[in-house]
Amino acid sequence: MALKMRRSRAIAPPPTCAVGVCMQVIGKAWTPNLIWYLSGGPRRFGELRRDMPPISAKMLSERLRDLEERGVVTRRVVASSPPSAEYALTELGEELMPAIQAIVAVGLKLKQRMGGGADAA
């Protein structure tokens, strides 16, 4: 005999966890790498493409736009010929660096444990 499916009562969803909110930002593909490279200072789109050769222009553009909308990255149009844009971390973006550095440190330990060596970062 199958159990009867009960309907849910109208209950408000739980509040979003702060870790979940942060992971929505840095958990996307290429985002930690992008924040890492921008931590060294402002970069233009082409410079970021050279820093991260496997990323496509479309994906890089999407990630930059998403981070800009979330207040992690600023975009400044540089008056040049041809016109160019420069991207930099905001104060909020800079606050993500300790978390990303901690992830890198643990990742290096995991690579060593798995036989990858520390130099294969």
pLDDT in tens, 87-96: 999 999 999 9
Domains of the chain: 24-111 (1.10.10.10)
List pLDDT tens digits, range 46-78.
999 999 999 999 999 999 999 999 999 999 998
Q: What is the pLDDT of residue 119?
A: 56
Segments in the chain forming alpha helices (H): 18-26, 31-38, 45-51, 57-69, 91-95, 97-113
- Rounded Cα distance between 114 and 14, Å, is 38
Sign of CA dihedral 18, 107, 94, 74: negative
